[in-house]
Amino acid sequence: MTVDDRTPVLVGVGQSSDPIDAPGYRRLSAADLGADAARAALHDSGADPAALAAAIDTVAGVRQFEISTPMSHAPLGRSTNYPRSVAARIGADPVRAVLEVTGGQSPQHLLTELCAAVADGSVAAALVVGSEAISTARHLAGSEGAPDFTETVPGQLDDRGFGLEGLATRQQIAHGLAGMPAQYALAENARRSRLGSDRDTYATAMGELFAPFTRVAATNPHAAAPTGRSAAELATTSERNRPIAAPYTRYLVSRDQVNQGAAVVLTSVSEARRLGVPQDRWVYLHGHADLRERPLLDRPDLSVGPASGAAVRHALEVAGVGLDDLSTLDLYSCFPIAVSHVCDQLGLAPDDPRGLTLTGGLPFFGGAGNNYSLHAVAETVVRARATPGSYGLVGANGGVLSKYSVGIYSTTPTGWRPDRSAEIQDELDAVPSPEQVVHADGPARVETWTVVHGRGGDRTGIVVGRDAEGRRFLARTVDGDDETLDLLAGEPAGAPVYARSFGVGNRVTTTRGRMDALAPRRAPGFRPSDDGDGAYEHVRVHRDGHLLEVTIDRPDARNALTPPANDELDEVFDAFFADPDLWVAILTGAGETAFSAGNDLRWTAAGKPMWVPKNGFAGLTSRPGMTKPVIAAVNGFAMGGGCEIAMACHLVVADETARFALSEVKVGLVAAAGGLVRLPRIVGPALATEMILTGRRLDAAQALDAGLVNRVVPAGTALDGARELAAEILDGSPTSVRTSLQIMNETDGIADTVEAAQHPSAALDELMLSADAIEGVTAFAQKRPPVWRNR
């Protein structure tokens, strides 16, 4: 490719560090560390630093860990505009500032993006910078005289958000699979299973892979853990090398407690010449690729991420070189499999004489948050200049082998080379995913696994399994189940287990008998109490003949529901549907203010564990085949989840004070408990869309007109109105009522009216032979009230 004035070149690289145990510890903020690295990069260019800083029109910042997720926290404060904080410190005033998405791929991705922008003329000179002061934050937070790193910085900022889509699902979080060590451990053990390696042999191999990394880190002045270690030391559990998530011990996982920064300056060829950057400082990006893997449980093979290998191969193709032409490699190394699965795909030996890291790797050099690979680029540039004409590869990984960005660098001049990453991504995405099941019940086999170790010695097993139909599911061990934990500590690949689903997620044990002993299913029934009405903390239950009245008893919280309250309601409705002497139920809220305000956001905001019963909010919104009528007696507000509960009931009686709304958008949520589906079907798409997108409230009269409510009664009489409606239902045959609801359920998805009307239902056949059908006809002929038998 021909070099022209717009050809991008890397002209300066810099690194910085501030170890807390060093004699010259400076207590630098992330912005200070980034600025130190940026100054080093300006000086590294060989040009006038002030002139080069003034020429920078774009500063792109790598996102710090403290702002990488919605739950992240900056204990010492942070800059509101990190790229401009760094720019101001070095005398730059960029036209554009960018804050990249979360992920270790982001440094290389930014460099590729900005090189393309230089090539098309939209950028003349750019700075890519990233840094972390995690070690200082942990060291000084809460101490007397701790620094305040808060900066309010005006100016434009292109904040691209977290970019966490597909990286953390509700299912994973529910099963304790939010942290990176456990997720990578699942992939690592899947690889061990694929290779047929036993536990000790595999541990030794991980140690042998990373032992050379420690020796590189030992000579790196910026390394957070500059200590050489043997393979045996890395592989052997000890007091200092405690287990984290099997098969990982502490020495094998990314070390994010660091104070480090790195920066790269790039310009066009014409700008480099204008600024007087010596040509021996120029390094070109010859090849590049950016590919993404599908979410973890959607991958056909959990032991490998094909996107990573494809990205390396394509970057080599773009560069026009082969693997053997590379002089240096730095493969992202947060965990052993991040390196080994790339080696597997490329045919690279773990002991390749070129080495697989230039820095020492994330467990030893340090995982500088999302910015590790910018250090790798800096080292690659230095080596490329030292050996002109050589080629170096940087592989940058984000997520759980999820995003892979590759750069191939050399001093050999080349023009800008476009890639075909989008085309290759389409090919990767076309591969079918395995079928999954959310609720797993019955015999299964272990596909992959890990055991997460707490500091207090507690252990939790996490299993990816396959049920009897081959469907993939996620599960945890039952608390206190040492037998299953012992299985997972050995050779569990393919081992039979037994799965059972609950509202809190799936659980696995070694056998059904053990599951029945440790996590039995609750037999439907009401809790006993002195008055026979039930003994619950969050609800009141009253039985009156064939009628059950259920009251959400949290008036101080506007009857909003916590997970324990949802569990109680689920238990109550399980008992109702199982009891043949109960024919109709009424659900209402205590007090006069609210039927239910939905999810209790105070519980959520406090960071307490969240779960919902398998049958949904209030044990109703996801309950299948409800064949006994449930009436909602709405007194006051039915907001958010409260409105969803009302819609899940068969009938709604509202008093004049009632207000209905799906208000989730007002608090950054969505009506995921059926509201997005039920409301359009009940009130029509036009009104439903307005209510869902704006949180619009309907009063009782409007709700009646829209078909959301069956009856409106005077204020304070919702329960009385519901009782009247229940009495009308109870006047009919409970068998007929139940059969009617069952046939309505069976035909709900049939669009054609005639086809639905002709639907053959076994329930109808059973009704015609029932005692109630005979009694009803007989009583009519004898002109007497029927005596229903409910059979």
Which of the residues are catalytic? 644, 664
Strand partners, 594: 637
**Rounded CA gap, 356 and 329, in Å?**
5
Residue 497's nearest CA partner among 460, 537, 443 is: 443
- Taking the CA atoms of residue 675, residue 680, residue 681 and residue 684 in that order, the dihedral angle to the nearest 10 degrees is 150
**Rounded CA gap, 791 and 776, in Å?**
12
Strand partners, 467: 444
Q: Which two tokens stand for residue 350?
A: 């773990």
Q: Write out the H or E segment, with its range, that includes residue 510.
A: none
**Rounded CA gap, 212 and 329, in Å?**
13
Report how far apart the first and last C-alpha atoms of the chain are (Å, whole number). 84
Peptide bond into 496 cis (omega under 30): no
Radius of gyration of the chain (CA): 32
Q: Write out the H or E segment, with its range, that includes residue 228.
A: none
Q: Distance of alpha carbon 30 from its chain centroid, rounded? A: 26
Q: Write out the H or E segment, with its range, that includes residue 284.
A: strand 284-292
- CB-count exposure of residue 589 (10 Å: 0-12, 13-18, 19+): buried
CB distance 587 to 632 below 8 Å: yes
Sequence-distant (6+) residues with CB within 8 A of 712 are 653, 654, 655, 656, 658, 700, 701, 703, 704
Strand partners, 10: 266, 283
Sequence-distant (6+) residues with CB within 8 A of 539 are 550, 551, 552, 553, 565, 568, 569, 572
**Rounded CA gap, 15 and 150, in Å?**
23
Q: Which two tokens stand for residue 51?
A: 């002139």
Fill in the amino acid letter for 22: A
DSSP readout, 606-624? TT------TT-GGGTTT-S
Q: Which two tokens stand for residue 572?
A: 């109550």
CB distance 426 to 312 below 8 Å: no
How many other C-beta atoms are found inside a 10 Å radius of the C-beta of residue 154?
A: 8
Q: Which two tokens stand for residue 388?
A: 């002109």
* Signed CA dihedral, 757, 759, 764, 765: sign only: positive
